[in-house]
Amino acid sequence: MTKKTYRLLSEAEWEYAARAGTNTAYFWGNDLGRGNANCRGCSSQWDAKQTAPIESFKGNAFGLHDMAGNVWQWVQDCYQSNYDGVPTDGSVLTSRDCINHVVRGGSWYDVPQTLRSAYRDNYAKDQRRSSIGFRVARTFTP
Q: pLDDT per residue over 7-16, tens digit each?
A: 999 999 999 9
Helices marked H in 9-81 — which ranges? 11-19
* Per-residue confidence (pLDDT) for residue 96, from 0 to 100: 78
Q: Could you tell me which of 69, 53, 89 has the C-alpha nearest to residue 18? A: 69
pLDDT tens track for 51-107 = 999 999 999 999 999 999 999 999 999 999 999 989 999 999 998 789 999 999 999
Summary mean pLDDT of the chain: 95
* Per-residue confidence (pLDDT) for residue 125, from 0 to 100: 87
* Per-residue confidence (pLDDT) for residue 142, from 0 to 100: 81
Q: What is the DSSP letter of 137?
A: E
Burial call 94-119: b when 16+ CB within 10 Å, e when fewer: eeeeeeebbbbbbbbbbebebbbbeb
Which residues lie below 8 Å from residue 102, measured CB to CB, with a gap of 6+?
Answer: 11, 74, 75, 77, 78, 79, 120, 121, 122
Question: How many other CB atoms are found less than 10 A from the CB of residue 9?
Answer: 23
Residue 108 predicted with pLDDT over 90: yes
Instruction: Report the C-alpha gap between 137 and 130 in whole angstroms.
Output: 21
Q: Which CATH architecture has domain 1-142?
A: Alpha-Beta Complex (3.90)
